[in-house]
A = this chain, B = another copy of it.
Amino acid sequence: MSFSQQHRIAISWHVRAGLLLVGLLCAALLGKTQTREAFRADHMDTVLYGVAYYPEYMPYDRLDQDVQLMQKAGITVVRIGEFSWGLWEPEDGKFEFAWMDRVVDKLHAAGIRIIMGTPTASIPAWLYKAHPEIVVTRIGGQYLYYGYRQNTDLSNPTYRFYCERVSRKILEHYKVNPAIIGYQIDNETSSAGAANHDVQVGFADYLKSKFKTTDTLNKVWGLNYWGQRLNDWTELPPRDGIINPGWKLEWERYSQWMTTDFLAWQASIVNEYKRPDQFVMHDFAGPPRPEVNEPEVVKSLDIVAANPYHGTQDQFDGEASSYVGDYVRSLKQTNYLITETNAEAIGWDSKEQFPPYDGQLRLDVYTHAASGANMVEYWHWHSIHYGQETYWKGVLGHDLTPGRAYDEVSRTAHELQRIGPQIVNIQHKNQVAILYSNDSYYGIEFMKFSDRVNYRTILRQMYSALYRSNVGVDFVFPESKNLSAYKVILVPSLYVASDAVLSKLVDYVKGGGNLVLAFKSGFCNEYSTVRW
């Protein structure tokens, strides 16, 4: 969906939202209670503990046995449904819920809370057959084909049409189900490098909307260089051959906007259905992730979630988990969820099969809780016997019987049942912050100063120094308004920054703040143009 189409569709949402209001009114008149408080991330009753659960992946039906094992272990939450579009809608327009109803019912009966996912991250084969054009074509022409997940053009209207329909059907079906505590939209979303025709058209629309005239572009990107100035928007060449750093940065911003917009749109659909006590969230893959503008995405979410995986055995050190935790907590400045983390050994091949030492699973849970996590879920309950993630092992191994990991999960779950209410909703009041600039990551990537060191290396060095010194740290962003809350702000190479951002830092220092600024900071303006 192009930038301008998006605005037109936004209007139709308003119409739909109006209809919804009428619906809600009717529902109230019919006696449905709407009195429970709206969901608050810092008002949870305990630290939830559980797994992603895919009974549909199993080679035989073992639902009863699974639920019994979960209940026995003390698991309190599962995430379901987020990768099963092909089961929700096995044929175009034919929806099936029975297969999931029995899962939801049995989990609910066992007292296990449920997070339901929209299944849009992996399209069914019938949809690919009908619409191969919705799959990503990358810069240079590489086409991703069918077989992978997260390989669709997020702005494609056909893809959006099918996403919307399946999501509404699921939401409609489960909205009254008391077992559902919240919804996850999509999964670890990014633009996947999409440069499809409609993405290129959307980028041109975005540029028009942002810069108005090509003369502005000529100026901010210095297009007199090599005589590449544009007379009008029809002359804008495809992104594929572009090497201008400002142009490339703007493309990355548009790619990020595609994700932001797609998730905001999905959240708006969920919001039409969800109850006040339910949340809508999205799980970020290993944030901070440059291709996703997490600070923008979270504006549409009730609560933030992340999927941090960590080294195990001697490589386990907690820093990686805290790093993600501090970052994710800072996005909405409150508690968050861990939707995925290692149960046993992980990997997309079998090279890294190092299951955690005894105690490391438990240690990881409290690491996350200490950073502000109000939930820890493993990916995943079972190990799968086929597919790319055969060796991304679950709480249960391939034999599907309780083993060492299950036992430690069980011990930890029971401990959490006791102390969870005391440690939930932890708040941090840190005096030190790190300023994170996604733009600076890309600005430096396009003009690398090293093959070994980049923006993230410097960021991580700063974080490590603080972590090893036991100094609590938040993240702030170029758009943040709360800088003065911190005694010290560390700034990794802020290569790309507008005058406004630089002024804000100057003001911070003038107001008594202590700023540690890495090299190459302030080098370029917001268009990745070197200052003169």
Residue numbers in B under 8 Å from A247 (CB-CB): 147
- Chain A 118-131 near chain B by CB (<8 Å), digits 1 or 0: 01001111101100
A384 contacts B225, C-beta separation under 8 Å: yes
Bound CA–CA A84/B229 (angstroms): 9
Q: Which of B83, B125, B241 contacts A147 (CB 8 A)?
A: B241
Does A465 count as interface, using CB distance less than 8 angstroms? no
By the criterion of a CB under 8 Å from any partner CB, how many residues of chain A are at the interface?
82
Please tell me if A507 contacts chain B, counting CB pairs below 8 Å.
Answer: no
Contact B230 A384 (CB under 8 A): no
Contact of A30 with B by CB under 8 A = no
Q: Are B84 and A227 in contact (CB under 8 A)?
A: yes
Q: Given that A84-B227, A87-B229, A227-B85 are known contacts, is A243 also in contact with B385, CB under 8 Å in the complex?
A: no
A434-493: which residues lie under 8 A (CB-CB) from chain B?
447-451
**Would you call B386 and A222 a contact (CB within 8 A)?**
yes
Check A144 against B83 for contact (C-beta < 8 Å): no
B residues in contact with A391, CB < 8 Å: 447
Is A315 an interface residue, CB under 8 A from the partner?
Answer: no
* A79-B228 Cα distance, complex, nearest whole Å: 19
Separation of A151 and B240 alpha carbons in the complex (Å): 14
The smallest C-beta distance from A365 to any residue of chain B, in angstroms, reads 27
CA distance A241 to B447 in the complex (A): 33
A350 within 8 A of B: yes
CA distance A147 to B146 in the complex (A): 31
At the interface, yes or no: A31 with Cβ under 8 Å from chain B? no
B450 touching A530, Cβ below 8 Å: no
Closest Cβ–Cβ distance, residue A344 to chain B (whole Å):
14
Closest residue on chain B to residue A86 by CB atoms: B227
- For A225, A247, A398, the residue with the greatest tally of chain B CB atoms inside 10 Å of its CB is A225
- CA gap between A124 and B231 in the complex, in Å: 10
Partner of A386, one of B119, B240, B385, B530: B530
Most chain B Cβ neighbours within 10 Å, of A56, A386, A391? A386
Give the distance in Å from the alpha carbon of A412 to the alpha carbon of B370 in the complex.
Answer: 65
Residues of B within 8 A of A224 (CB): 54, 56-57, 84, 86-87
Please tell me if A245 contacts chain B, counting CB pairs below 8 Å: yes
A97 interface hit (Cβ, 8 Å): no
A227 to B121, CA, bound (A): 10
Chain B residues with CB under 8 Å of A390's CB are 245, 447, 530
Contact B231 A90 (CB under 8 A): yes
Cross-chain contact B238 with A532 (CB below 8 angstroms): no
Given the interface pairs A83-B226, A222-B59, A240-B145, the reply to whether A231 lies near B385 with Cβ below 8 Å is no
18 more A-B residue pairs beyond the given contacts A124-B229, A145-B242, A386-B529, with a C-beta to C-beta distance below 8 A: A56-B224, A57-B222, A59-B219, A59-B222, A83-B225, A86-B226, A123-B227, A126-B235, A129-B235, A141-B143, A145-B240, A243-B387, A245-B390, A246-B386, A349-B449, A350-B448, A351-B448, A398-B530
